[in-house]
Amino acid sequence: MNNTIIIGYDGSPDARTALTWALDEAARTLAPAEIVYADQWPIWEPAASLVYWASLPSRRRPAT
Residue 64, in any domain of the structure: no
pLDDT at 62: 67
Tell me which of 20 and 53 has the higher pLDDT. Answer: 20
The reply to whether 21 falls in a domain is yes
Please report, for residues 19, 31, 44, 53, the alpha-carbon distance to residue 24 in angstroms, rounded to integers and kept in the order given.
8, 10, 38, 32
Confidence of residue 47 (pLDDT cuts 50, 70, 90): low
Residue 12 lies in a domain: yes
Question: Is residue 38 in a domain?
Answer: yes
Q: How many domains does the chain have?
A: 1
- pLDDT, tens digit (0-9, with 9 covering 90-100), for 6-43: 999 988 899 999 999 999 999 999 999 999 988 776 66
Spatial separation of the C-alpha atoms in residues 51 and 6, rounded to whole Å: 22
- Containing structural domain, residue 17: 5-59
| Per-residue pLDDT band at 58 (split at 50, 70, 90) | low
